[in-house]
Amino acid sequence: MNAMPPVEVKTTNPAVLAFVEEARALFKPENVRWCNGTKWEYQELLKSLVDAGTAQWLNPAKRPNSILVRSDPADVARVEDQTFICSRSKDDAGPTNNWAGPDEMKRTLAQLYDGAMAGRTMYVVPYSMGPIGSPIAGIGVMVTDSAYAVANMHIMTRVGDRVLAALGQSTDFVRGLHTVGYPLASPSAADVPWPCNKTKYISHFPETREIWSYGSGYGGNALLGKKCHALRIASVKARDEGWMAEHMLILKLTNPEGRVKYVAAAFPSACGKTNLAMLVPTIPGWKAETLGDDICWMKFGADGRLYAINPETGFFGVAPGTSNESNLNAMKTLHANIIYSNVALTDDGDVWWEGMSEPPAPAIDWMRRSWTPGSGRPAAHPNARFTAPAAQCPVIAKEWEDPAGVPIDAILFGGRRASVVPLVSEALSWRHGTFLGSIMASEKTAAAAGKVGELRRDPMAMLPFCGYHMGDYFQHWITVGEKGGSKMPKIFYVNWFRKSPEGKFLWPGYAENSRVLKWIFERCEGTAGAVDTPIGKLPAEGALDLNGLNIAPGALSELLRVDRDGWRTELPSIREHFATFGAKLPAALNEELDALGQRLG
């Protein structure tokens, strides 16, 4: 294939042209490449990664048009300790973010950026988060010297000339600067397979809608459309403009009569979010389809309801643990056109990771070493990833690219709790639901630092992703609820992970979670029974459809038991959590906490 020809610049937007020229003057690349978003361009990017030794083609009979990329062992995950919110006021970043002054951070990064792309190509990536032209979507322009990042952005977002045409002369776009921080003495100088820098910064400037990233080429550090734009910057934009940018999957449920409800759900990591997004219901006649597995943007429609889009066009999923048993639809999505990062390579040119199937023997691990089962180390990195086009998912909903979005009927919160939290409860009101989201927690497992069973609170699953003070974020939830009034979605709190005193899971989970979703669907329709309890409304006796499910009566009663003592014991922990947010904690949440205490008696 010939080298990529020069590309005509398809914009006259002064703000875009000035942004790109300033970046070129700062980074001093060998050349500049405007990305047009074509399939040909994508294939050329893959070829360049293979030619550079960064990637290799997988067996086309096994994984057509797919590559395996191996990163530097020092560049394998998001770097939360080097992720900064550079708001003008430190108070606006709040207690859950690292803060740095914007002027100081820009001085630091400008020095690192000076000449950082020497000998390299600077790619200009115009991208749309959400369907191009949608009133809920948003546009960004990112510059980067990483072909890996550009190829991933091709899958994860809508890239190219169409985006520039939709932007027109507007200045309303997020400006993203990214470099791996590994300049070359000349374009012909020897490179490394995975260029990166030991120094890393992922910095966000919320007021000016800018993202400055340095030193890392992996995942959310380099794919600036993902967590940086779609959550950290978008959450601030949403606060300022009266909408919501949330870390939620979007699911379409259809009952046997053909009626539809749309559900958004927020879960911390390791709580089955992607599995729920691609669920296969076990109840006859019910259908579940996915609109998104990670991010949800919601704006009010003309009818006063919240309408949601998935701003992404792909899945950037954790590979280890994904299998035909845990997520058949994800596995079916991964048949072709995939970028695999840091998984193992089998001797027949296919991929493998822990939990996928019986281990292959032998294999090449993610660090290019020979590997056999029982070698005492994982073959795939625990944060190994697949980047997959959402359109390939066999259960992608037809509405997933509808510019108008879909009306959300229910919002789910959940965490991994062995005790206290029942299988499902319905919030008493939007405000009470906001309270439940604000106290979301998962118990630490043996694999995590700290005491087993200790709670890690992750409000709305947004702890690493909220771009401003979380006290203000809670208030934004309350304000949005007041605006939407009776048309707001119902809120539910779920927990698939409750255990017996002997430590056994009481609920089978996975596909059987469709039984809980059915009750939620019917609660939205007003047809399922519920009982009032101090913590919310729980399924009435017989309201959960358990036909064909082998579950002991004792297990069900424990799953739906309101553990008053457990909740009372947790009240001081919630107060301590709320104290983190100081004077910015909405009074309404303390009132909800007091009311819970009174109801518990």
- Which residues touch 213 (CB under 8 Å, ≥6 apart)? 176, 177, 178, 179, 201, 202, 203, 221, 222, 224, 228
224 and 347 housed in the same domain: no
Within this chain, do residues 383 and 453 fall inside the same structural domain, yes or no? no
Q: Which of 196, 271, 296, 524 is catalytic?
A: 271
The gap from C-alpha 521 to its chain's centroid, in whole angstroms, comes to 24
- Supply the CATH number for residue 318's domain: 2.170.8.10
The total of structural domains in the chain comes to 3
What would the pLDDT profile of 516-550 be if each residue is shown by its tens digit?
Answer: 999 999 999 999 999 999 999 999 999 999 999 99
Task: Let me know whether 233 and 366 are in one domain.
Answer: no
2 pLDDT band, cuts 50/70/90, is: very low
Q: What is the pLDDT of residues 103-136, one digit of tens each?
A: 999 999 999 999 999 999 999 999 999 999 999 9
Residue 196 is among the residues annotated as catalytic for this protein:
no
Determine the average pLDDT of the residues in 25-36. 97
Claim to verify: residue 361 and residue 429 sit in the same structural domain:
no
Same domain, 320 and 181: no
Same domain, 437 and 323: no
Q: pTM of the full predicted structure?
A: 0.96
Name the domain boundary from 189, 212, 242. 242
Phi-psi region of 78 (alpha: psi -120 to 50; beta: other; left: phi over 0): beta
**Distance from C-alpha of 471 to C-alpha of 206, rounded to nearest angstrom:** 17
Asked if 123 and 42 sit in the same domain, the reply is yes
Domain assignment of residue 69, yes or no:
no
Q: Does the pLDDT value for residue 7 go beyond 80?
A: no
In a domain, 364, yes or no: yes
Residue 85's SS3 state is strand
Instruction: State the residue range of the domain holding 504.
Output: 409-600
Whether residues 332 and 453 fall in one domain: no
Residue 450 has pLDDT above 80, yes or no: no
What CATH code is carried by the domain that includes residue 578? 3.90.228.20
Please check the confidence at residue 447 and state whether its pLDDT lies above 80: no
Short-list 476, 483, 445, CA closest to 459: 476
CA-to-CA dists, residue 559 to 189, 444, 494, 563, angstroms: 63, 20, 11, 10
Rounded CA-CA distance 110/100 in Å is 15
**Same domain, yes or no, for 443 and 553?**
yes
147 and 86 together in one domain: yes
Residue 303 lies in a domain: no
Domain-ending residue, one of 224, 242, 260: 242
The mean per-residue pLDDT over the stretch 276-289 comes to 96
Confirm whether 275 is domain-assigned: no
